[in-house]
Amino acid sequence: MKALVWHGTRDVRCDTVPDPEIEDGRDAIIKVTSCAICGSDLHLYDHFMPGMKSGDVLGHEAMGEVVEVGKDNKALKVGDRIVVPFTITCGQCEQCRRGNFSVCERSNRNKALGDTAFGHTTAGLFGYTHLTGGYAGGQAEFLRVPFADSTHIKVPEGISDEKLLFLSDVFPTGWQGAVQCDIQPTDTVAIWGCGAVGQMAIRSALLLGAKRVIAIDRVPERLQMAEAGGAEVIDYDAEPNIVGRLNDMTDGRGPEKCIDAVGLEAHAMGAVDAVYDRAKQAMLLETDRAHVLRQMIMVCRPAGVLSVPGVYGGLIDKFPIGALMNKGLTVRTGQTHVNRWTPDLLKRIEDGQIDPSFVITHTIGLEDGPEMYRVFRDKQDGCIKVVIRP
Amino acid sequence: MSNSTHQPPAPRTAPRGAPGGGAYTRHDELARGLGWFSIGLGLLELTAAHGLCRALGLKGRETLVQAYGVREVATGVAILMSHDPTPWILARVGGDALDLATLATGFEDDNPKQSNLAAATAAVAGVTVLDVVCAQGLIGQKRLSRPGAFDYSDRSGFARPARTMRGAASDFATPEDFRIPGPLRPWTETRA
């Protein structure tokens, strides 16, 4: 089959690889009808996420038709239409039973690596680092879904792939980012990053009743899309003093809730700490750039909440722990517990409350994937979200 | 909630000229090659400045050549490590101009090494051409957006105006483990 394969830093190729096979009785194989390139795939593309190996098949946002089912899988049958959550969940461990699916205790087949990197293993992820299992991803013609009897979202016919695909990741990720804020009608919610997750977080915060939503980015078309979704926007190229601007917009008090939809590759042209981060990262003295986290801590209203759906992989430096502690901030983080939110979100799509396809800017075939990784990474051609039709 | 009347946006296809296959274009590869060349030349200038100056009849300019070596190494490292080597390739073009200007000062009647100097000048001119071709190629493969080229102002994702959607998901019950514990809740006066 054809698949997008990681070969090294900024080296993704459309290769022919072996078709996946059933390896366990709970598995299923799907014929991928749609998949997407995620912002966190760019962390792999740029090789800021450790634990990648040449030959890894990328992609963790996929949906399709079940074409083969393991003998112990009683939940699926051939022909079922499913969206595949990016977190692989056994459905049986204590964390899964609590609904903490992204920290499933059994689905990471490289548990020792996960234990070493993060203290305790987290869930297996598709098409991601070997720290999270090194499972083949969904930017391919076919995908093996481990623990498929619990790792799936059955979706009805009659609704387009475009509306449903983002149940795999960015819609529930933006939603969880907002839910983690426990939004109240008096809240101002500031959201850093207007990529796909940021766009979903903006709409989620609005739907959940935030008084104001303020979105921060520098790419004009992303800011325009954020405004379309009901956000006030700050272009940090025009107004680099984000902390000052947010304080001005909130009578000096700061936003009650702050969401980091950027993660470890924060950009900030000219900011001293951003240059410092980039230099340290280049010298392998830290893995992640914490510019957004620092701003959030400094600007959040005391006793407020920081929500971090943006992905971090390792270590950061110059972390303002004093401000974080003394301001009494609550920090909520985590990969997304996808299945915890998807029944509700699917209903909202079916009811027409929201149509997540608004974020799609490019639709391509697999063979165009390598080029689109570059275009997406460089934020060119108005690119915000790429859907692939294998 | 009534059924959505929102029309799915018309997505763009891949940019024209998308090559498929591998991620590196020939201009990326050329940039990487120039990066390694820059490092190699820089190390040579740093470690063999006296020999170079003697061979070119540029005695007395050893320190300048070593400074150029530092520039070459730094530029080469930047080319290899940056996400976008374009500005560093452009910097190399500027450096080439400096090199050519420096070599030009050696074409004096009393310089017995003029033939070596001419060969070096031709070599630098050749590399300059490569640098210019590379820079043009890198700039050309960017799909830079003209201001206003993309209009996403209708992409709300909502069937109704966004301002009317505030609180539309008020039927959602935040799970207890996602709520701020009661005793820790600030601003209780604002909570009904």
Q: Which residue has the higher pLDDT, B27 or A365?
A: A365
Question: Is the pLDDT score of B14 beyond 70?
Answer: no
The CATH H-level superfamily of A2-169+336-388 is Medium-chain alcohol dehydrogenases, catalytic domain (3.90.180.10)
CB contact under 8 A, A370 and B22: yes
Q: Chain B contacts of A363, Cβ < 8 Å?
A: 11-13
**Under an 8 A CB cutoff, do B143 and A375 touch?**
yes
Q: Do A355 and B8 touch (CB under 8 A)?
A: yes
Distance of residue A241 Cα from the nearest chain B Cα, in angstroms: 23
Q: Does A8 touch chain B (CB under 8 A)?
A: no
Assigned token pair, A211: 């008084």
For B46, the token pair is: 């740093």
- pLDDT higher at B120 or B141: B120
What are the residue ranges of helices labelled H in chain B?
26-47, 49-56, 62-81, 86-104, 114-141
pLDDT at res. B187: 61
DSSP strand pairing (A11-16 vs A257-260): unpaired
Looking at residue B144, what is its pLDDT? 62
Shortest CA gap A360–chain B (Å)? 6
Domain parsing of chain A, residue ranges: 2-169+336-388, 171-333
**Token representation of residue A389:** 């039709």
Q: How far is A248 from chain B (nearest CA, A)?
A: 20
**Chain B residues whose beta carbon lies within 8 Å of the beta carbon of residue A228:** 152-156, 162
To the nearest whole Å, the CA of A75 is away from the closest chain B CA by 26
Q: Which fold has domain A171-333?
A: Rossmann fold (3.40.50)
Which residues of B are less than 8 Å from A302 in CB distance? Answer: 186
Q: Residue A368 and residue B1: Cβ atoms within 8 Å?
A: no
A351 close contact with B: CB closer than 8 A: yes
Considering only CB atoms, B1 lies closest to which of A11, A353, A375, namely A353
**Two tokens at A287?**
């893995």
Task: Please indicate, yes or no, whether the overall pTM of this predicted structure exceeds 0.80.
Answer: yes
Distance CA B167, CA A210 (A): 7
CA closest to B29 among chain A residues: A11
Q: Which of residues 22-81 of A touch B (CB under 8 A)?
A: 46
Q: H helices within chain A, ranges in order?
A: 39-45, 94-98, 111-118, 161-164, 170-179, 196-207, 220-228, 242-249, 272-282, 291-299, 321-326, 338-350, 369-377
Report which listed range, A149-163, B15-29, B177-191, is most confident: A149-163
* Cα nearest neighbour of A344 on chain B: B172
Could you give the CA distance from residue A27 to residue A69 in angstroms, rounded to a whole number? 6
End-to-end CA distance of chain A: 10
The pLDDT of residue B80 is 87
The shortest CB-CB distance from B143 to any of A209, A355, A380 is to: A380
Could you say which of A228, A354, A360 has the minimum Cβ distance to residue B154?
A: A228
CB A387 within 8 A of CB B11: yes
Mutate to test the interface with A, among B158, B164, B174 (most CBs of A within 10 A): B158
pLDDT beyond 70 at B12: no
Q: Is A333 within 8 Å of chain B by CB?
A: no
Rounded average pLDDT over B101-115: 91
> Cβ separation of B180 and A182 shorter than 8 Å?
yes
Answer whether A148's CB lies under 8 Å from A26's CB: yes
Q: Identify the pLDDT of residue B4.
A: 39
Query: pLDDT (tens digit, 9 = 90+) per residue, A194-215?
Result: 999 999 999 999 999 999 999 9
Helix (H/G/I), strand (E/B), else coil: A144: strand
Neighbours of A327 (CB within 10 A): 16
Q: Do A11 and B23 touch (CB under 8 A)?
A: yes
For chain A, positions 251-280, list CB contacts with chain B under 8 A: 256
What's residue B19's pLDDT? 43
Q: Encoding tokens for residue A141?
A: 């013609």
**Does A12 reach chain B within 8 Å, measured CB to CB?**
yes
Q: How far is B68 from chain A (nearest CA, A)?
A: 23
Higher pLDDT, B187 or A258: A258
CB distance B21–A221 less than 8 Å? no
pLDDT of residue B192: 45
What is the predicted pLDDT for the residue at A50?
86
Place of tokens 């698949």: A3
Question: Helix A272-282 and helix A291-299: axis angle, to 10°?
Answer: 150
What does the pLDDT read at residue A88? Answer: 98
* pLDDT, tens digit (0-9, with 9 covering 90-100), for A110-135: 999 999 999 999 999 999 999 999 99
Residues of chain A with pLDDT under 50: none
What does pLDDT average to over chain B? Answer: 84
Structural domain spans, chain B: 26-141
- Asked if A357 reaches chain B (Cβ–Cβ under 8 Å), the answer is yes
pLDDT in tens, A261-270: 998 888 766 6
